[in-house]
């Protein structure tokens, strides 16, 4: 059993806390917003109940799993952790500040992981004095359901840290895949150009969003079309990741489509705002 601290209790943080607690680890779930912590506990409880209804979890399990999760608005609640997983907002300044503080606060042996989708692990690690113990642990949304964890080695991440995190991910029932730290890692470097190209197809009037998604679903056996997936991820998040790829690699093939920029400027973020390429009723 590992003592885990999860920083940020939003979409990803609550799922990460859920999976660790379900596999017997104690979890300190930390967020600056107490409302986010309350919402996270409700989400975890609701998702555990769904697992019970599906028959994949014993009826008495949710109470025991929830008893392993404590919440706090203070970063100090991470001080005893063996492993910290940062899943706070995708903002470099927020993450750099958190890692400087966590490095000062946490035990010397603790591993500091980040769930970032696109920020350089090497740059985050450089904010600490323990770069060999800093690593990317990129869970996919929804965390309790998705099999993959992309494990990202920063420039100085040690073999021991990588081996520990790979093993731990397997013990959570996940399939970890090791990659190196370059913009977008593998998942977003491959996914985002496809989404961007689908958006260019809308922009240039090649086809409607419905037609583009149908081509990719029925023709390529993708479970979701690229535009529905972009709405699910969040168009603001897609734009931020494309900007990281464009600036980080410096190749214009990653240039975000002007239509994507325009939709984000108009507040059309996809599913979470109710409108993106498709319309959602909340």
Ligand X SMILES: NC(=O)c1ccc[n+]([C@@H]2O[C@H](COP(=O)([O-])OP(=O)(O)OC[C@H]3O[C@@H](n4cnc5c(N)ncnc54)[C@H](O)[C@@H]3O)[C@@H](O)[C@H]2O)c1
Q: Nearer to ligand X by C-beta: 92 or 193?
A: 92
List the x/- string, 88-127, binding to ligand X by CB under 6 A: xxx---x---x----------------xxx----------
List the x/- string, 9-28, binding to ligand X by CB under 6 A: xxxxx---------------
Residue nearest ligand X (C-beta atom): 10
243 makes contact with ligand X (CB under 6 A): no
Choose, from 18, 25, 138, 246, the residue flagged as catalytic.
138
Residue of 5, 44, 87, 125 interacting with ligand X (CB under 6 A)? 87
Stretch that binds ligand X, among 7-15, 191-199, 203-211, 246-254 (CB under 6 A): 7-15
Choose, from 115, 150, 187, 273, the residue flagged as catalytic.
150
Least distance (Å) between residue 169 CB and ligand X:
14
Q: How many residues bind ligand X (CB under 6 A)?
A: 24
Least distance (Å) between residue 160 CB and ligand X:
25
Q: Nearer to ligand X by C-beta: 24 or 274?
A: 274
Choose, from 9, 14, 115, 117, the residue flagged as catalytic.
117
43 makes contact with ligand X (CB under 6 A): no
Would residue 150 show up in a list of annotated catalytic residues for this protein? yes
Q: Nearer to ligand X by C-beta: 28 or 30?
A: 30
Strand order across the beta sheet in which 175-180 lies:
69-72, 26-30, 3-7, 83-86, 111-114, 134-139, 148-153, 175-180
The span from the CA of 87 to the CA of 112, in Å, is: 11
Would residue 117 show up in a list of annotated catalytic residues for this protein? yes
The set of catalytic residues is 117, 138, 150, 188
Applying CB under 6 A, which residues contact ligand X?
Answer: 7-13, 30-33, 36, 87-90, 94, 98, 115-117, 138, 141, 233
């Amino acid at each position: 059993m590992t003592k885990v601290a999860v920083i940020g209790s939003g979409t990803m943080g609550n799922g990460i806390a859920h999976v660790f607690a379900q596999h017997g680890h104690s979890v300190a779930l930390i967020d600056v917003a107490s409302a986010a912590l309350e919402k996270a506990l409700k989400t975890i409880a609701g998702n555990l109940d769904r697992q019970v209804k599906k028959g994949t979890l014993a009826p008495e399990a949710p109470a025991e799993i929830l008893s392993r999760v404590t919440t706090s608005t203070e970063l100090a609640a991470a001080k005893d952790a063996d492993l910290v997983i940062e899943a706070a907002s995708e903002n470099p300044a927020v993450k750099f500040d958190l890692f400087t503080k966590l490095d000062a606060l946490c035990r010397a042996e603790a591993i500091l992981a980040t769930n970032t989708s696109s920020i350089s692990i090497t740059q985050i690690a450089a904010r600490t004095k323990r770069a060999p113990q800093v690593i990317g642990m990129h869970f996919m949304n929804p965390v309790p359901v998705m099999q993959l964890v992309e494990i990202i080695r920063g420039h100085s991440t040690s073999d021991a840290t990588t081996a520990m995190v790979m093993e731990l991910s397997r013990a959570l029932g996940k399939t970890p895949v090791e990659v190196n730290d370059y913009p977008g890692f593998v998942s977003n470097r491959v996914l985002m150009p496809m989404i961007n190209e689908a958006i260019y197809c809308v922009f240039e009037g090649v086809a409607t969003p419905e037609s583009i998604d149908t081509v990719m679903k029925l023709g390529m056996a993708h479970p979701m079309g690229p535009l529905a997936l972009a709405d699910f991820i969040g168009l603001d998040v897609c734009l931020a990741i494309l900007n990281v790829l464009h600036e980080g690699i410096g190749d214009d093939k990653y240039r975000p489509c002007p239509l994507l920029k325009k939709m984000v400027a108009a507040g059309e973020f996809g599913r979470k705002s109710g409108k993106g390429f498709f319309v959602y009723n909340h």
